[in-house]
Every structure is written in structure tokens, then in C-alpha cells.
Structure 1
């Protein structure tokens, strides 16, 4: 579990300054006050109200730009903008709102950005302590006082002794029911017993009634308590390699023990992801902490990077088993 509570009042000051141009926001003969439309006589020119509103919108835009400064990935930026809008709605309405399941990079950036907002509390939950994919709940610090119940665990059982199924098999079967990926959290494999999955509560009954097979294995889905999840820390193996560059094709081929040409083909086919985002260029540069996923091969984390005397790179590679 992860939680954070935050403060940064400058946006509020900008908002108050904006509305100092016009004490009321008038439209026809009615006044919007905290989202409620109330009768009110028109006594201020509309242009002054519009000027105040535009100033507020500009202040919010500038604040968002400042908060997102340094986030390079465009898709992550768009997700963060939506999460910021949700956080501001939650604060103004004094309610608690929730994201769908987020990938680890978006989750990390979201918690950092939300940490800069005034009076906002943010709680990240994935269903168990080592969860990768998590949902974030946001709300005013006086409203969000406990962890909301926003995740349901399901057990998928079947006779997998003669036909083992991979993470991809379970994922494909679940998505094959028609639900979106961001509604689904982690998938915990259990060997011959099947798997346990985390999902948003609203779709649990749908999965139970719809999903009857994983691969060619007939399955039964049922709800289980989060405390019944069976998980253990991932097993890893670390080793070092010396490479002339930090390109993804160089490090991934070394980490997965496959040829550079095969890795290039996998990239061309869209089967290689860095930090859960598909890469399309062989020359994508990696850094310490990056996670490389290759379909059919597994995952690899980039550890410590040092420069050798000859100008090459000594890289620690951490392979997930």
C-alpha cells in the first residue's frame, strides 16, 4: 500500500486573484455558486466575469504545466492531466474519486504530482503489498480518512496439470470477454491450480458469469477475500554485461540471451516494451531502473550502470525468473 497527503496553495491564490476581477460569475440573471445555479440580479458586465474565468483557466493551465514539467512521455502526460482534473473535482466536491488500474510508471508519476496539490490525499492500492498495477483514490484530506474498498480478487481454477497456461494466456482470456486492460490489475499465477486476479468490483460478476476457458482448459471463477491472495516476492537472477551502448537492442539481447537480429525483429513486431510502453526504435536508450518486457521471454530490469576505462558501459541486468 502507498499513501500520501499534500499541500501547495498557490493555485488557490491564483484563483482568488482571478475572481477579484469580478466578485460573481453572472450568466443571464443567475449565479453559479459552488456548482449550484441560483437566481441573482445582473449587476456586473459579463465581460468582466469572462475575464475572471479566463484568468482562472489560464492559472490552472499554468499550474498543470508546472506540475507536469519533466515528464517526457506524451501518453503519460495525458494520463496525468486526466488524473489532475479528477483530483481537483474530488477536492471541490468533497468526494472521493478513483482511477482505473495504472501501470507502474504512471502510478509513480501520479503520486509525485498529486503530492504537490493542496489539501489532497492520495492512496494507491493494488490488492496486495507487491502489486505492480494499482488504482489511486483521491479526495480532500478531511474526506478520505480510510482506504476505500475498490478492488476485488477472483480465483480462476481448472485442471492446468496437463496443460499449463502462461500469464499471457490468462490475460488473453480475460480481455477476450471484452473488458479493457485498465480495469484489470495483477495476475498471480498459481501453477496447476490456475491463477488469482485483481479487478474493479463492478466487473467481478461479469467475469464470473462470462469467462469459462483459459486456452483449452475449462475454468471456474469465484470471488475470494484479498487476504486469501497467495503471492511471493518475484525470483530474480542478476548478472553483468559490458556493452558499447545502452541501446535497448544491445541490452535486451544480452539480458534475454537471444541474438541482436532476433531482438530487432521483435521490436519491429511490437513485442518489446520499456516501462510497459511499446518501443518501435532499436536505438531507444535505457537507463538504470528501466524495465524491459519481451513477449515470450519475460522481463528484465536495468540495474547499476558504470562507464569502463575504454568508454564502454558495464551494466547490471536483473532477470525476472
Structure 2
């Protein structure tokens, strides 16, 4: 008895293999992949997925060092699901990790991707990953429903003000880890709505009975009942000589360039959630620039004027 794995993929599967006999197919019935060399795995061993040095350098280029391990796991998860014609789901990802994961995944041709956090403006999202053809043939609503569930936590908080952190603490106090919890929408003195992985929604409803000292009722709700506050945006345009972040952010945050440079030197500016220490970094459409204490702006359409300057659309979140 032995087990085999195709050597054509740079991303091998992470799992302990159940040993099966090798079944040879007639050449006329073999797929192009099955004609490639097979590597026989030793019985009783667990083979961990690894990236070759070449593939690692290519796929993880531009990924923040702090996200390398997480993005590598997501790549392996996506490749595994694609090869099996299944759909796999990541944990809830923070914006920086999500940004880097998408950067790497878009370099893999056969993996389909759906990003979903329960509503269109969600900050923490999950990735649904699978064979791109299978994903295209699937109903998006079904993929989304399998990714995220919503739970309502209701109580009378009129005389005991609570915050996002209080609800998060109550949820994590049940033993659920942060990666299984998405956004928490606080509803003032009425409670909150929590996004969570579907397999833990029932447990959460049974486990959360109070927030701080206030008794609460916890129940599942459809995603359509989420009371999301759509962030307001102020759209503006600026014309600059370059696409340097100090020039565009100065216009977007309505700050002098010299004052902005001081904040950059102090580590308060982020491009796509990554700290930037120099004002010379260049921006492109879709980049998100955050300034501590000032919010964030998103770079929209960029056009070159007849004089060779850059007309930049900026959306500032209020």
C-alpha cells in the first residue's frame, strides 16, 4: 500500500494521507496532470504543504512580513480546495491580511475568490476559495450564507453604557477565538449585532447571557436585518505634480505638507494598512491612506492633464 500525490503543483496538500493503492489509467484516459511524474509518499508520515523558494518569492512578493504565515496558509487552503473542486473558507481576516492575501491569490490562475463579511462595507471579511470554474457555476448567495451568520445581542443598556469592546469581551469570554468573529455593529443602548462563522452561531446564542452586568437575549438573525450605518464620504478632486503620498494626502486631509510630513515621520500614516515613513511613496487607484486621528481616504480615478499633471479623485470617509 502506498499513497501518491501529483508533483505538478507547487502547493502540496497539508494533511495526513489515507493510504490507497495506486491505480494506473490507460494513457488515452489520463489527464495532462496524470501524465506528469508521481511522487510516492512514505506510509505513516504526514506531509505538510510547502512553497518552493521560487513560488514563494513570486506569490508572496509585496506581502508584509507579519502576514507571510497567514497568507501562505490561505494559498495552500485555496489550492487544496481548487484541486478537489470544493469551496473552502478562511477565518475572518483583518484589512491588512485580507489585502495581502488578495495580492497573492490573484497571482494563482485557477483559484476563484469571493470576499464576504456579512455586508458590503464589512471591515473583517472571510475568503471563499475554490476552483474558479466551480465558483463561477455556484450561486453567490449560497457561498455567502455558508461564510457568515449574524447574531443579535439585545438588552437594556440605557443606564449602563457599553462599547464595542464590551460586546467583543462577552463573545470572546465564551472561548470563541477572535478569528471566528467578524464585525460587531453596536446599536447604542439596545445592544449589538455580531457577525460570526455559521458553525458557532448556535453556541454563541446559548453562551452569551450577559454583557458586563446587563442580562441579554441572544438570537440568530438574517443578514438582511443588519442595521448597518453606511459611512459618509466626501468626494473631492486635486491636481498634483506627482502621485506622492505627501502631496495627495495633504489635499485629502486638508493639512499643510510640512505638518503632514511630521506625522509621517512619527509613524502615523498608513497605505493599505501598512506604515509608511517616507512621503515619497507613490499612490494608485484603489489605495487606502489612513492617518491616525484623521480617518482615511481612498484614491479614486487618476487622469493625466494636458500639462502632464495628475488629476486625482479622493474619497474621504467622514
TM-score bin, normalised by smaller chain: 0.5 to 0.7
How far apart, in 2, do the equivalents of 1:173 and 1:17 lie? 53
Secondary structure, aligned partner of 2:36: helix
State the shift of 1:95 in Å: 5.5
Aligned twin of 1:101: 92
Secondary structure, counterpart of 1:299 in structure 2: strand
1:232/1:284 CA distance change after superposition, 3 Å: same
Relative to structure 1, the CA distance from residue 210 to residue 260 in structure 2 (aligned partners, 3 Å threshold; closer, same or farther) is: farther
The CA deviation at 1:203 is 6.1
The corresponding residue for 1:51 is none
CA distance in 1, matches of 2:312, 2:76: 40
Paired residues of 1:174 and 1:211 also in contact (CA < 8 A): no
Q: Is the 8 A contact 1:253 1:260 kept in 2?
A: yes
Unaligned runs of 5+ in 2: 1-7, 10-30
Q: Residues 229 and 282 from structure 1, CA distance in 2 versus in 1: closer, same or farther, beyond 3 angstroms?
A: same
2:247 counterpart of 1:247:
no
- Return the alpha-carbon distance in structure 2 between the equivalents of residues 272 and 156 of structure 1: 35
Work out which of the residue numbers 74, 83, 106 in structure 2 matches 1:83.
74
Cα deviation, residue 236, structure 1? 1.6
- Give yes or no for the alignment of 1:18 onto 2:37: yes
Residue of 269, 273, 288 corresponding to 1:272: 269
CA displacement at 1:235 relative to structure 2: 2.7
2:122 maps to which residue?
Answer: 131
Cα separation, partners in 2 of 1:18 and 1:202, compared to 1, 3 Å: same
Q: 1:191 to 1:297 in 2, by over 3 A?
A: farther
- Equivalent residue number for residue 296 of structure 2: 299
**Which one of 218, 221, 224 corresponds to residue 222 of structure 1?**
218
> Is 1:237 the counterpart of 2:234 in the alignment?
yes
Runs of 4+ in 1 over 6 A off after TM superposition: 141-144, 158-165
Query: What is the correspondence of 1:134-153 to structure 2 with a 5 Å cutoff?
Result: 134-139=125-130, 146-147=142-143, 149-153=146-150
Do 2:89 and 2:128's aligned partners in 1 also have CA atoms closer than 8 Å?
A: yes
Taking structure 2 as the reference length, what is the TM-score of the superposition? 0.62
* Structure 2 residue 69 is the aligned partner of structure 1 residue 72: no
- Residues 74, 101 of structure 2: 8 Å contact kept: no
Alpha-carbon distance between aligned partners in 2 of 1:221 and 1:280, rounded to the nearest angstrom? 47
2:282 is aligned to: 285
**Offset at residue 243 of structure 1 (A):** 3.3
Higher relative contact order (CA 8 A, sep 6+): 1
Gaps of 5+ in 1: 1-9, 37-55
Q: What RMSD over aligned residues (CA atoms) do the two structures have, in Å? A: 4.6
SS at match of 1:250: helix
In 1, Cα distance between the equivalents of 2:35 and 2:279? 50
Other structure's SS at 2:78 match: helix
Residue in structure 1 matched with residue 254 of structure 2 by the alignment? 257
Q: How many residues align?
A: 274
